[in-house]
Amino acid sequence: MRQRKTTWAAIIVAVVALCLISVLDATAQKKGGVLKVGNLGEPPTLDAHWTTATITEVLTNHLYEGLYALDARSQPIPMLAEAMPAVSKDGLTYTFKLRQGIKFHNGKEMTSADVVASLNRWGAQSTYGKGLYARVAEVRAVDKYAVQMQLKEKTATVLISLAIPNNFAAIYPKEVIDKFKPAEKATEWIGTGPFKLVEWKPDRHIKMVRFDDYQPRKEAASGYGGRKVVHINELLWMPVPDAATRVAQIETGELDFADDLDLNAYDRLKKTAGVQPIVAKPYYWLVAVFNKKEGLMTNQKLRQAWQAALDMEPIMKNVAGGHAELYRLDSSLAFVENAPWHTKIKGLPWNEHNRDKAKRLLREAGYKGEPIRFMTTQEYKWMYDFALLTKQQLEDAGFTIDLQVVDWATLVKRRNNHKEYDAFTTGMGNFYDPTHHIYLGPNWPGWTDDEDLNRMLAELAGEGDYKKRFALWEQVTRAFYDKVPVARYGDLFGLRASRAHVKGFDTTLMRPRFHNVWLDK
């Protein structure tokens, strides 16, 4: 009898506790308010199909959605598609069922006609879309809520290409697509996303509000996908180009959130009451890209000598302003956070800081101290910093480096001309599929046109089995460190900050998202 009483008591306590938790939870997630986000400037466009620029990626992912999104493990999960696609036995036909009753910001329901038009436009204009569409024969509507993609040849990259957030396969209404051909930037920004654009005043703000007809998915939020609920009324993006001003504005509370902050501000932000510094992982791995079409760096031995001479620790420490939390030494071509493709191969010739080996390789290369033109820019301080330290380390090993400091617009122009440089600095972001690593292929500045790498990448694109693909990816990584198409440095992290009253922000995301965020003022 006593036992039964205790059981009942336990059940009652549990129910009351559960009720209390749900009530507390409901009150915790306050609705309303304006969230002011300071970012570094104006986007070149809000047409997601048009550019790979990070700022456009961040903004447009609040307005539009694709058929799939990436979860916390960087794996595709359904977003506007109802579920994972049905794939035919020969692997050539993908059928996507769409969610029903999904509204665009203009009130129109999303149907297969919108999806077909959007995918075709994305396939004609976007970097990743073009990559996938090289293998696509046709995309057509099966019925009002189903779309079929017919492939010319089998590829494992369909889902990942549709899910990546950069230059992404955003679904627009067909009317918008009809108005703006792929080569023309769309200037009507209508999507199905949880936020709706109300005003874009260049250099002043981009104002988004909660889209009340948005229908969240049932699955829990994970990465860039799952359940998205908008608690705030308004999301105000303020372009603040000066990094010191962004830091001051988050300190005074004029901004609720500030992105892309100078790493040197880390200590100051940690000490400021009411401010939480957030380390953004991953950000970039730093890289020196070699010109393999013409000039000195076409010599593989010379590239290997560059790789052998580098001592990553002092370089990365300096770039990260001395903060160990803001960088990481890792040789995998995919970030740790990109779990499916992160490799742990031991004994790669990375971070060797072996001056003797470098000198031997220089001799074998027949190098006579000719100046190597190494382009960098001060517009991104981290690029300049690592270029400067690289010059020093390489010259200690016997290189002659002609460091050419130009502005970013000049750098991106010159790097497309094989006559103008031997190496340039940049950063590599997160590539979600092995076939997307641009520096491994022949179509990107530096022009890696290597027979072995091309063959392995083609195999990777055609192979469907994950285990076989991973084995191939490890082979690519080994080949990479032998052929050295680019010199991989360490991982650098980004710095952002929020005020303490900003709650629910997912700090594990590489790029910020403001759904599921609320203000506790």
Residues at the interface with other proteins (CB under 8 A): 41-42, 44-45, 50-54, 56, 127, 130, 166-167, 183-185, 187, 201-204, 238-242, 244-245, 248-249, 251-252, 254, 379, 406-410, 412-414, 416, 426, 438, 443-445
The Cα 431–Cα 363 span in angstroms is: 36
| Structure-token pair, residue 344 | 């742990």
**Which residue, among 426, 431, 501, has the nearest Cα to 460 in the 3D structure?**
431
Phi and psi at 456, nearest 5°, equal: -65, -40
| Structure-token pair, residue 212 | 């009340």
Residue 443 C-beta: closest distance to other proteins, Å: 4
| Structure-token pair, residue 162 | 């549709």
Specify the residue, 175 or 379, whose C-beta has the smaller distance to other proteins. 379
Q: Which helix (H) or strand (E) holds 498?
A: strand 486-499
282: preceding bond cis by omega (within 30 degrees): yes
Specify the residue, 275 or 297, whose C-beta has the smaller distance to other proteins. 275
| Structure-token pair, residue 375 | 């382009």
Residue type, 232: I
b/e map of 434-446 (b: 16 or more CB within 10 Å)? bbbbbbbbeeebb
Residue 114 C-beta: closest distance to other proteins, Å: 23
DSSP string covering 89-134, please? TTS-EEEEEBPSSPBPTTSPBP-HHHHHHHHHHHHHHSHHHHHHHT
Residue 254 C-beta: closest distance to other proteins, Å: 6
Specify the residue, 447 or 518, whose C-beta has the smaller distance to other proteins. 447
The Cα 166–Cα 511 span in angstroms is: 10
Residue 38 C-beta: closest distance to other proteins, Å: 9
Specify the residue, 22 or 443, whose C-beta has the smaller distance to other proteins. 443
Specify the residue, 384 or 408, whose C-beta has the smaller distance to other proteins. 408
Specify the residue, 62 or 414, whose C-beta has the smaller distance to other proteins. 414
Specify the residue, 93 or 410, whose C-beta has the smaller distance to other proteins. 410
The Cα 130–Cα 123 span in angstroms is: 5
Entry field: residues in the chain: 521
Residue type, 235: L
| Structure-token pair, residue 91 | 């692997």
End-to-end CA distance of the chain: 50
Residue 280 C-beta: closest distance to other proteins, Å: 17
Specify the residue, 106 or 187, whose C-beta has the smaller distance to other proteins. 187
The Cα 469–Cα 462 span in angstroms is: 9
Residue 256 C-beta: closest distance to other proteins, Å: 14
The Cα 487–Cα 350 span in angstroms is: 9
HSE of 250 in the Cβ direction (CA atoms, 13 Å)?
A: 36
Specify the residue, 275 or 397, whose C-beta has the smaller distance to other proteins. 275
Residue 295 C-beta: closest distance to other proteins, Å: 17
Residue 228 C-beta: closest distance to other proteins, Å: 25
Specify the residue, 253 or 371, whose C-beta has the smaller distance to other proteins. 253
Three-state secondary structure call for residue 90: coil
Q: Tell me if 222 sits within 8 A of 464, measured CB to CB.
A: no
Residue 299 C-beta: closest distance to other proteins, Å: 23
The Cα 320–Cα 491 span in angstroms is: 10
Residue 444 C-beta: closest distance to other proteins, Å: 5
Query: With the C-alpha atoms ordered 193, 197, 202, 204, is the resulting torsion angle positive or negative?
Result: negative
Specify the residue, 185 or 478, whose C-beta has the smaller distance to other proteins. 185
Pairing of strands 234-239, 136-143: unpaired
Residue 269 C-beta: closest distance to other proteins, Å: 12
**Helix, strand, coil percent content, the chain, rounded in steps of 5:** 35, 20, 40
